[in-house]
Structures are given as C-alpha cells and as structure tokens.
Amino acid sequence: MSFLLGRLGQTVLVLLVASFVAFALFRYVGDPVNNMVGQAASMADREAVRRALGLDDPMVVQFARFIGNALRGDFGISYRFGQPVAALIGERFPATLELSLISMVIATGLGVPLGVWTALHRGSVLSQVLLAVSLVGVALPTFLIGIALILIFSVGLGWLPSFGRGEVVALGGWTTGLLTVSGLKALVLPSVTLGVFQLALIMRLARAEMLEVMRTDFIRFAKARGLKPRAIEYRHALRNTLLPVITIVGLQFGNVFAFSIIVETVFQWPGLGLLVIQAIQFADVPLLAGYLVLIALCFAVINLAVDLAYVAIDPRVRGSRAAGRAT
C-alpha cells in the first residue's frame, strides 16, 4: 500500500511540474495574438485581442487562473483550432496511442526474442550480424528512416501509403485504424519508423540482461541440477531477464511519445505529435499546456502498468502478503 501511495505522490509531483512548465509556456512562449487575427488587423485590434485573452494581467493572476482551469480539466480553447483543447486532444489521442503501442509491440515482440537469442548464441555469425545491425538501428536518426521508408515502399514500390491513417472505425469516442485493411496498411511504415530505435535498444538491453542473468549463481546451480538447457534458458533466465526489460519498455514509452512528433510530421499521422508541433509553431499555448499534462498522465498510467507487471512477475514485490509467512 505504501508502495502505491509513494507512486501516487510521485504522480502528483509530476503533474504539478508539468502544470508549472505548461504555465511557464503559457506565459512566455510566443505571441498568440498574431495567429488569431488576419493580416488586415490593425495594431489597435491586436491590443484589444491581447486584453481579451488576459495576456495583460499580472503573472500571478494568470497563474491562478491557469491552475484553477487545469484542475477542472479545462485547458481553454486552442488558439489555432478554436475548439476546446480537451476535445482536440481526445480526438487525436487514439491515433498517437495506437501508433505508439503498435511500435512498442513491434519493438518488444522482436527485440526481446532477438536479444535473448543473440545472448544465447554469443559466438554465432548471425548473432554478430544482428548486433551490428542493432547498432546501426541505434545510430540512425528517426527522420532519415522515415524518409527512406517512404521513398522505398510508397513512391518506389507503391506498396504502402505514405501518409495519414487510412480508414478508421469509430468505437464510441475512440477511433481505431486497427480494424480496416487500409488502416493497418497505413500503420506499417510509421510504426516501423518509430519502432526501429526502440527495437534496437530493447534487443541490446535484453541481450545484456540475459548475459548477466546467465552468469548468476542460480543459473549455475540450475545447471548443476542437470536441468535441460531449454528449461534453464526459458524457464529461469528469461523470466529474470524480463524484469529490467519491462522497466525500460515503460520508460521508453515516454520517448516513443516524444519521437512520435517526428514520425507524425514525416508521415502526416493525424495524432498528438502533429498537433503539438503545430501548437509549437503557432504558439498555441493552451494546446501545449494540455499536451504536457496529458504526457505526464500517460507517464503515470504506464508507471502503474509497469508496477502491476512487476507484481505479477516478481514475488519479491508482493511484500506484504509474503511477510506473514516468512520465518
């Protein structure tokens, strides 16, 4: 329980910091006025708009107003889109989440087995090749990968779409591209682009962890017990390898969200990243503020998921129940 309380405290802290950063943005970034008036507006018009937005109030007043609104989930109306920020984010969030999830699934689903395999076959040529390729994967800038994939698979071969999300299906308030052929096709290039770096990273990490676990005493003891190699590698080593890997996968999720900004720019993927890069360009502060808080929230949710995964896998974390039975 105290474990969860501590997590909650941390989440609140993160949210507070996020709001502060969001407010700092609100106060200091860009002059939104120019984005809201046309080219024919006079300087007097501009002043009027500035007053209407409350940009002339003292900072403290603006901060108080910001916090008050944020607590009610109200981040105001986007300067750029003229719609409530919460609605805009809600509309775009599914696209980014699906993209991030799928790329993480690709990265984890391939990265962990490859990492384990290369760890178990340290000397083999294929393992060395895979390692070298993974280094290239870590070293390649995401934007270059995206451009190259478009050139090859969209323009060159014409197999996969170069932009957008394809046909989406609405499930309640959620739109998903996972249920249509065109939606799935559209997902391929962006999620691969986003996943390459993570794949390489996770593979290398899984390999390093696996190697480390394979040197532990309990694996040595398991060998001394005459267990079959498969049992040692998969029943014992792999499960112990997964713990740190899960932590990293959780942490990397934040990075995937950030890198989705680049991928969404390259592929015109209609998600939050595209929204936020526009928000930065147009100094759309309410939108930025909402985005920041959402990122912090996502972080909290992912952390919770990681904690739950730990509880599921690692009996040592289920402390309280076990304590009653200890000698």
Partner 1 sequence: MRLTLLVSTALTALLVAAAPAAAQAPAPTAPEKVFRYAYRVDPASLDPHALAETFTLSWLGQVYEPLVGRGKNLELVPALAEKWEQVDPTTWRFHLRKGVKFADGTPFTADDVVFSLQRVKKDGSDMAYTVASVTDIKKVDDHTVDLVMAKPNPILPVQITSTYIMSKDWAEKNGATAPASVKAKVENFASTNANGTGAFKIDTRQAGVRTVLVPNPNWWGDKTSNVTKVIFTPIQADATRVAALLSGEVDMVYPVPQQDAARIDGSGNAKVLKGAELRTMFLNMDQKRDELHTSDVKGKNPFKDKRVRQAIYQAIDMEAIKDRIMGGTSHVAGTMIAPGINGYDAKLDSRTAPYDPKAAKQLLTDAGYPDGFSFTMDCSNDRYVNDERICQAIVGMLGRVGLKVNLNAQTRSKYFEKVLARDTSFAMLGWQPLSYDAHSTLQDTMNTPEGKIGTYNIGNYSNPKIDELTQKIEVEVDPAKRNALIFEAMMLSKDDYSHIPLHQAGIAWGVRKGVNAVLRSDDSLELKWVTLD
Partner 2 sequence: MTAARATLASWWDGDLLYRFRRSPVAIVSLLVAVLLFAVALGADAIAPYDAFDPAAANVVDARLPPGSAGMYGETYLLGTDPQGRDMLSAMIYGLRTSLMVGLASVVLAALVGVLLGLVAGYFGGVLDAVIMRIADVQLSFPAILIALLIDGVTRTALPREVHDALAVPILVFAIAASFWVQYARTVRGLVLVERNREYVLAARVIGVSTPRILFTHILPNVLGPVLVIATINLALAILTEATLSFLGVGLPSTQPSLGSLVRIGNEFVFSGDWWISAAPGALLVLLSLSVNIFGDFLRDALNPKLAS
Partner 3 sequence: MNALLQVENLRVEIAARKRRLVAIDDVSFEIAAGEVLGVVGESGAGKSVTGTAVLGLLEAPAVQAGGRILFDGRRIDTLSEEGMRALRGKEIAAVFQDPLTSLDPLMTIGDQLTETMLTHLPMTRAEGEARAGELLAEVGIPAPRERLQAYPHELSGGMRQRVVLALAFCCAPRLIIADEPTTALDVSIQAQILDLLRRMCRERGTAVMLVTHDMGVIAEVADRVAVMYAGRVAEIGPTRQLIAHAAHPYTRGLMASIPSMRRREKELTQIPGAMPRPDAPVAGCAFHPRCPQAFARCAAERPPAFPVGAARVACWLADPAFEGVPA
User: Closest distance between partner 1 and the C-beta of residue 158, in Å?
Assistant: 6
Site for partner 1 in 62-101 (CB under 8 A): 71-74, 76-84, 86, 88-94
Amino acid identity, position 233: E
# chain residues binding partner 2, by CB under 8 A = 43
User: Closest distance between partner 3 and the C-beta of residue 132, in Å?
Assistant: 22
**272 part of the interface to partner 2, by CB under 8 A:** no
CA proximity to 131, closest of 31, 49, 239, 208: 208
Encoded one letter per residue, x for contact with partner 2 by CB under 8 A and - for no contact, window 66-85 reads --------------------
# chain residues binding partner 1, by CB under 8 A = 80
**254 part of the interface to partner 2, by CB under 8 A:** yes
**234 part of the interface to partner 3, by CB under 8 A:** no
**316 part of the interface to partner 3, by CB under 8 A:** yes
Degrees to nearest 5, angle at CA 105 with 13 and 275: 55
Residue 167 or residue 212: which is nearer to partner 1 going by CB? 167
**276 part of the interface to partner 1, by CB under 8 A:** no
List of E strands, 155-201: 169-171, 174-176
SS3 121: coil
Query: How many separate helices (H) and strands (E) can be counted in the chain?
Result: 14, 2
CA 264 to CA 191: how far, in whole Å? 10
Find which of partner 2, partner 3, partner 1, none residue 212 binds, CB within 5 to 8 Å per kind: partner 2
Residue 222 or residue 263: which is nearer to partner 2 going by CB? 263
- For partner 2, the binding residue among 66, 259, 269, 282 (CB under 8 A) is 259
Contacts of 258 (CB under 8 A, 6+ apart): none
* Distance separating the N- and C-terminal Cα atoms of the chain: 22
Give whole-number Cα distances, 97 to 253, 258, 304, in Å.
10, 12, 17
Output the furthest CA–CA distance in the chain (Å, rounded): 86
- For partner 1, the binding residue among 55, 131, 147, 227 (CB under 8 A) is 147
Q: What is the CA radius of gyration of the chain?
A: 24
Find which of partner 2, partner 1, partner 3, none residue 57 binds, CB within 5 to 8 Å per kind: none
**308 part of the interface to partner 3, by CB under 8 A:** no
CA atoms within 13 A on the CB side of 21: 15
Contacts of 212 (CB under 8 A, 6+ apart): none
Find which of partner 1, partner 2, partner 3, none residue 86 binds, CB within 5 to 8 Å per kind: partner 1
CA 302 to CA 304: how far, in whole Å? 5
Asked if residues 132 and 207 have their Cβ atoms less than 8 Å apart, the reply is no
**55 part of the interface to partner 2, by CB under 8 A:** no
- For partner 1, the binding residue among 103, 175, 252, 260 (CB under 8 A) is 175
User: Closest distance between partner 1 and the C-beta of residue 167, in Å?
Assistant: 6
Asked if residues 111 and 201 have their Cβ atoms less than 8 Å apart, the reply is yes
**190 part of the interface to partner 1, by CB under 8 A:** no
- For partner 2, the binding residue among 142, 175, 198, 241 (CB under 8 A) is 142
Task: Fill in the DSSP letter of residue 138.
Answer: H
Residue 245 or residue 272: which is nearer to partner 1 going by CB? 272
- For partner 3, the binding residue among 240, 252, 260, 303 (CB under 8 A) is 240
Q: Which residues bind partner 3 (CB under 8 A)?
A: 216-218, 220-229, 231, 235-236, 239-240, 313-316, 322, 325-327
